[in-house]
């Protein structure tokens, strides 16, 4: 197994000497191993250039908020819309969400900096994530991730110089039946190997659109963020959404006549018990 490349760009963990390998990092710090985590990342970029959030975007943010009985429940998709426009979460995006939802910017910032799908630095055209949790790691996910770091010359959560690829190690993608799994803008590439993973990123860097193993042709990261905000791109039925390994349990159950147990009837209410109207 090859050693993973340590991040050396702006995302590198503060204090990690250049060229530190995985073993030295783990022995010297004993916290996150050779991975820089989401919570090691710098705070939001308050020197971001002029915002791209205009009146049309503000209207779409209001449309999202109007879908929910409690408007603040719309914050997650609203942040995805901000990223689809700005390329990341920006102070201007946080202020816009806060004003529309009538909550504080601290409330919005707390959410935007907690969840790993919200980014504080610009993301490349394609976000490539490799699952390195338990089963995927056992099946070769670490090797896939290390090979991509070496091939692309970047560390975790860093972007290639051409702006095409941002690479990140991901936690479980709920696709253990096809481990190890790589995702490009959240589309599945099943049973990844170092070789076919390199082929995918090379195609993306060359401007070739690629088809996911299960799912649609891969859109750009910002196009995908718009879909996550709740604006469909019409590709929901493009490509298979599940595979035989995922449906095997259902197939066996049908062959053997297995059914889930029926739900028990609700308990009968006695005449002495108060009702909602009483």
Residue 49, pLDDT above cutoff 60: yes
Q: For residue range 122-148, what is the model confidence (pLDDT) as tens digits?
A: 999 999 999 999 899 999 999 999 999
Angle between helical axes of 75-86 and 91-101 (0-180°, round to 10) = 150
HSE of 227 in the Cβ direction (CA atoms, 13 Å)?
16
Q: What is the pLDDT of residues 247-270, one digit of tens each?
A: 888 899 999 999 888 888 888 876
CA angle 186, 190, 195 (to 5 degrees): 105
Percent of the chain at pLDDT exceeding 90: 61
- 92 in Cβ contact with 48 (< 8 Å): yes
Name the pTM for this structure: 0.74
% of the chain at pLDDT higher than 70: 79
| Distance (Å, whole) CA 78 – CA 53 | 12
Does the pLDDT of residue 274 top 50, yes or no? yes
Band of pLDDT at residue 243, cut at 50, 70 and 90: confident
- pLDDT tens by residue, 18-46: 444 433 333 333 333 445 555 555 566 65
Task: Assess whether pLDDT exceeds 50 at residue 198.
Answer: yes
Neighbours of 15 (CB within 10 A): 8
**Six token digits for residue 134:** 């338990």
- Model confidence at 204, pLDDT cuts 50, 70, 90, reads very high
211, 218 contact by CB (below 8 A): yes
Q: What is the pLDDT of residues 153-191, one digit of tens each?
A: 999 999 999 999 999 999 898 899 999 999 999 999 999
Which 3 state secondary structure label does DSSP give 225?
Answer: helix
pLDDT, residue 264, reads 87
């Amino acid at each position: 197994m090859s050693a993973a490349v340590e991040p050396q760009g702006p995302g590198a963990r503060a204090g990690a000497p250049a060229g530190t390998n995985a073993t030295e990092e783990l022995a010297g710090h004993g916290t996150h191993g050779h991975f820089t985590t989401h919570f090691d990342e710098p705070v939001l970029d308050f020197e971001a250039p002029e915002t791209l959030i205009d009146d049309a975007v503000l209207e779409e943010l209001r449309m999202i908020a109007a879908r929910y009985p409690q408007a603040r429940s719309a914050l997650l998709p609203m942040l995805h819309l901000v990223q689809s426009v700005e390329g990341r979460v920006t102070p201007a995006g946080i202020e816009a969400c806060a004003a529309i939802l009538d909550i504080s910017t601290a409330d919005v910032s707390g959410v935007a900096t907690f969840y790993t799908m919200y980014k504080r630095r610009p993301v490349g055209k394609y976000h490539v994530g490799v699952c390195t949790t338990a089963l995927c790691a056992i099946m070769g996910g670490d090797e896939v991730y290390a090979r991509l770091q070496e091939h692309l010359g970047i560390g975790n959560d860093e972007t290639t110089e051409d702006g095409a690829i941002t690479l990140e190690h991901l936690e479980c993608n709920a696709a253990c039946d096809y481990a190890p799994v790589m995702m490009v803008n959240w589309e599945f590439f099943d049973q990844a190997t170092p070789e076919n993973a390199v082929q995918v990123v090379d195609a993306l860097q060359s401007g070739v659109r690629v088809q996911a193993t299960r799912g649609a042709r891969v859109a750009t990261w910002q196009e995908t963020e718009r879909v996550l905000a709740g604006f469909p791109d019409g590709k929901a039925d493009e490509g298979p959404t599940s595979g035989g390994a995922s449906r095997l349990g259902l197939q066996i159950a049908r062959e053997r006549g297995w059914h889930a147990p029926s739900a028990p009837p609700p308990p009968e209410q006695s005449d002495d018990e108060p009702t909602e109207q009483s």
